[in-house]
Copies of this chain bind each other. A is one copy, B any other.
Amino acid sequence: RIDGARLWQSLMDLARIGGTPKGGVCRIALTDLDRQGRDLFVQWAREAGCSIRIDAIGNIFARRAGADDSLAPVMTGSHIDTQPTGGKFDGNYGVMAGLEVVRTLNAAGVRTRAPIEVAVWTNEEGSRFVPVMMGSGVFAGAFTLEHALAQRDAQGVSVAEALAAIGYAGQAGAAPAVGAYFEAHIEQGPVLENHERVIGVVQAALGQRWYDVTVQGMEAHAGPTPMELRQDALLAASALVAEVNRIALDRLPHARGTVGSLEVHPNSRNVIPGRVKLSVDLRAPDDAQLLDMDAALRAACARIAAERGLVIDVEQVVYFPPQPFTPHLVEAVRANAADLGYSCMDVVSGAGHDAVYVARVAPAAMVFVPCADGISHNEIEDADPAHLEAGCNVLLRAMLASAGV
């Protein structure tokens, strides 16, 4: 069993780097605070007997040798970059849980057959540099290293320059094989808490399609323009917001439909809106359902445009296919949670995670633990130490089962 107090202490120590007055963390990818966080991890990993490897996109791999070092490593990890107003647990928990597994194996004097690795993936959040999940995306070949290194932040600094500046531009080369990958993460949603379960056995990550939608109506004076002669872009956009919700409600339990961003032009009290731009985020557990939702969205746009005599333009801007996790690893998570006496339930990951990319090139699974009120990407993000300990114990057992003793 892992040492819950030591795990909690590591999380609290790491959270001081970039800690905010409100109790959150602001440790943006590839800043000097990110360097300090990385340096602390590397120091701790070295103290725990690990060797360190950095790849060309700045991913850190801390390796605990196995009995047979020719075997592909059993890997765990996550990220330590945060949102600008992020919390102490998102990402950080997965990395500290990995370190705690290594420390526990050391304390117990356990030698695994396959090596154990703890990964710190670069720029998962995407707050400073897009695309999100950059380090694991390059690792999995979702996009090229060159593409990632060339991205620039709002100040014009490239990923390549930022990596060099903090001393984490490592060696290029093909990504090594991974025997199995496990990632522990806070749920970032309310399902486990609502069901009063401690462990979420993550079956899959939802597929995602993101869109930019523009509704083009006719700007006119709100006073002299009779209701029946209007082409009100906001009225049409509002109908679309309701449809996006309906499209997901018709496909419960796992489908999601969200309009998170909406901008009105000219946005003046007594002017009928002439143009509205909005985002649509559709998610579903399988590609057929996601395509069906795509078709429903396009049909809704066409119908609303025809009914109201205006133009609606739909452009898809992001696509993540649904990503099932590897059945025997998912089963290992479930069986070990049950063995340890933790209440658990099957869940899906509604959000993207590094594990979603790694699952493209290696067997992978995730372990979710509850977070307070389901809140994440927020300085008030919180989690119960007992839940974090439980998730880490499940991680330890599942990794041991994969690595062999």
Chain A interfacial positions (CB closer than 8 Å to B): 187-191, 194, 206, 208, 210, 219-229, 232, 234-235, 237-239, 241-242, 245, 248-249, 252-264, 267-273, 279, 281, 283, 349-352, 374-378
Given known A-B contacts A241-B238, A242-B238, A256 and B222 have beta carbons under 8 A apart: yes
Which residue of chain B has its CB nearest to the CB of A220? B374
Given known A-B contacts A221-B376, A222-B258, A229-B190, A267 and B263 have beta carbons under 8 A apart: yes
Report the minimal beta-carbon distance from A66 to chain B, rounded to whole angstroms: 34
Asked if A256 and B223 sit within 8 Å, CB to CB, the answer is yes
Report the minimal beta-carbon distance from A20 to chain B, rounded to whole angstroms: 17
Which residue of chain B has its CB nearest to the CB of A352? B223
Asked if A269 and B260 sit within 8 Å, CB to CB, the answer is yes
Query: CA of A95 to CA of B273 in the docked complex: distance in angstroms?
Result: 30
Residues of B within 8 Å of A378, CB to CB, are: 219
Asked if B268 and A351 sit within 8 Å, CB to CB, the answer is no
Residues of B within 8 Å of A220, CB to CB, are: 189-190, 374-375
Of the candidates B221, B234, B261, B351, the one whose C-beta lies within 8 Å of that of A221 is B351
Given known A-B contacts A221-B188, A221-B351, A262-B264, A269 and B210 have beta carbons under 8 A apart: yes
State the oligomeric state as a number of copies. Answer: 2
Residues of B within 8 Å of A227, CB to CB, are: 245, 248-249, 252, 255-257
Which residue of chain B has its CB nearest to the CB of A248? B227
Residues of B within 8 Å of A242, CB to CB, are: 235, 238-239, 242
Query: CA of A222 to CA of B283 in the docked complex: distance in angstroms?
Result: 9
Task: Identify 12 new A-B residue pairs, CB closer than 8 A, beyond the known A229-B374, A260-B268, A260-B270.
Answer: A189-B220, A190-B226, A221-B351, A222-B281, A223-B349, A223-B351, A227-B248, A235-B241, A258-B272, A261-B269, A262-B262, A263-B264
Asked if A187 and B224 sit within 8 Å, CB to CB, the answer is yes
Of the candidates B208, B241, B272, B375, the one whose C-beta lies within 8 Å of that of A260 is B272
Residues of B within 8 Å of A253, CB to CB, are: 226
Asked if A229 and B194 sit within 8 Å, CB to CB, the answer is yes
Residues of B within 8 Å of A206, CB to CB, are: 223
Given known A-B contacts A269-B261, A281-B269, A377-B271, A223 and B249 have beta carbons under 8 A apart: no
Residues of B within 8 Å of A351, CB to CB, are: 221, 223-224, 270
